[in-house]
A and B are shown apart, each in its own frame.
Chain A
Amino acid sequence: MDFKPVSLSTSPLDQSWYEASARARLAGLLDADTFQEFIGPEQRMMSPHLPLFDLPRAFDDGMIVGRGLLEERPVLIAAQEGRFMGGAFGEIHGAKLVGLLRAALAVKPAAVLILFDTGGVRLQEANAGETAIAEIMRAITQVRTAGIPVIGLIGGRAGCYGGGGLIAGTCARLVISEGGRLSVSGPEVIETNRGAEEFDSRDRALVWRTMGGKHRRLIGAADAFVDDTIGAFRKAVLAAIPAAPSFDLATLEAEQARLEARLDRFGDARDATEIWGGLGIADPAAVPGLTTEGFDALLARLPEEPHHAR
Chain B
Amino acid sequence: MSNKTMQKMQPKKEAMPKVRWISLVVAVVVLVSLPFWGGDYIVNIFTLILMYMAIGEMWNLLAGYAGLVSLGAQAFIGLGGYSLAMISQVFKLPFLLGFLLAAVVSVVFALIISFPIFNMKDVYFTIGTWLVAEALCVFFQTWGFVNYNVGYNITVARRLSSTSVYFIAFGVGLIALLAVVFILRSKFGLGLMAMRDNEAASEIRGVKLYKSKLICFLISSAITGVAGAALYLNLAYIKPTVGFGIDWTVSMVFITVIGGMGTIEGPIIGSIIFVILRQLLYNFSGFSMLILGVIAVVMILVAPKGIMGLINNKTGFDLFGVKRKVKISDFAGIDAASAE
User: Does chain A bind chain B?
Assistant: no
Binding site for A on B (CB under 8 A): none
